[in-house]
Amino acid sequence: MRKKPIVAANWKMHKTRGEAKKFIDALKEKDWSGTEVLVAPPFTSILDAKKAAERSMIKVGAQNVSEHEEGAYTGEVSAKMLKDVGAEFVIIGHSERRRYFHEKHETVRNKIENALRHGLIPMLCIGETQEERENGTAHKVIERELVQTFKGLSEEKMGSLILAYEPVWAIGTGLTATPEIAQEAHLLCREILSEIFSDAYAKARPILYGGSVKAENAGKLLEKPDIDGFLVGGASLEVASFEKILQEARGG
């Protein structure tokens, strides 16, 4: 039987507290029990989103977390603080964080460890750039990202982890990876995870696809055996477009 598809909204730097509440209030009116619905608001709206999501199946998380436990790190938000406002998962290593905030593998690894220590599910994002896809190094890049990120981490410590394959050239561009390209990358991720950890661990990991996902391409992508759901940016900002993706995910 197919796993329940996971559909996660990454709101990026959008939505005030009131807007977040309004979105979740509308979303929870419908029964989404065929899917796992995750929403990652900006830090300031997490608590309101969480309250709005009470008595629903919607899980609320964050888009980032500090690599440090606590201390003099002006502007940072710790895993403990995220847990305190009710976050259940956290997006880590998104390509926008790597590009604009220069996050390196080691930072990403520290964030994953911090998240796990505080009982947050890390959602690790990886993916190649357009140049890497064009010059044929995409698979090498994916492998390097996974190997470097998980260096020194043991399976016992890892526990829950969600992986998101997000080719940088597909994020916010309207260019979605074809189901074949995405499937190939997802299978590769699973094989690499199986080499680093174990076959059983790799098989159990949900691997989401992200990059210009919309209702029109969601169904075909989900038909592929190693695509377990989506991380959605632009199309998650309006309730209507997000709901259409959820409908596709649960089979129309």
Residues belonging to the active site: 94, 166
The rounded distance, in Å, linking the Cα atoms of 41 and 14 is 8
Strands (E), the chain: 6-10, 36-40, 59-62, 89-92, 121-126, 162-165, 207-210, 229-232
List for the chain the helix, strand, coil content (%; round to 5).
Answer: 45, 15, 40
User: Minimum Å distance from CB 106 to ligand PGA?
Assistant: 22
The rounded distance, in Å, linking the Cα atoms of 125 and 208 is 9
In contact, 227 and 162? CB cutoff 8 Å: no
User: Minimum Å distance from CB 176 to ligand PGA?
Assistant: 8
Tell me which of 166, 226, 228, 248 binds ligand PGA, using CB under 6 A: 166
Contact set for ligand PGA, span 187-246 (CB under 6 A) = 210-213, 231-235
Greatest extent of the chain over all pairs of C-alpha atoms, in Å: 49
Minimum CB distance to ligand PGA smaller for 48 or for 166: 166
Minimum CB distance to ligand PGA smaller for 182 or for 232: 232
* Number of residues counted as binding ligand PGA (CB under 6 A): 13
Minimum CB distance to ligand PGA smaller for 9 or for 115: 9
Minimum CB distance to ligand PGA smaller for 6 or for 171: 171
Residue with tokens 């964050």: 62
- x/- contact string, 117-156, with ligand PGA (CB under 6 A)? ----------------------------------------
* Site for ligand PGA contains 112 (CB under 6 A): no
* Site for ligand PGA contains 66 (CB under 6 A): no
Q: Where are the alpha helices (DSSP H) in 54-206?
A: 79-84, 95-100, 105-117, 130-134, 138-149, 155-158, 179-196, 199-204
* Site for ligand PGA contains 171 (CB under 6 A): yes
Residue nearest to ligand PGA (CB): 233
Q: What is the DSSP letter of 212?
A: S
User: Minimum Å distance from CB 157 to ligand PGA?
Assistant: 26
Minimum CB distance to ligand PGA smaller for 141 or for 196: 141
Q: How far is CA 47 from CA 32, 72, 80, 121, 182, in A?
A: 22, 24, 14, 17, 34
User: Chain centroid to CA 182: how far?
Assistant: 15
Binding stretches for ligand PGA (CB under 6 A): 10, 166, 171-172, 210-213, 231-235
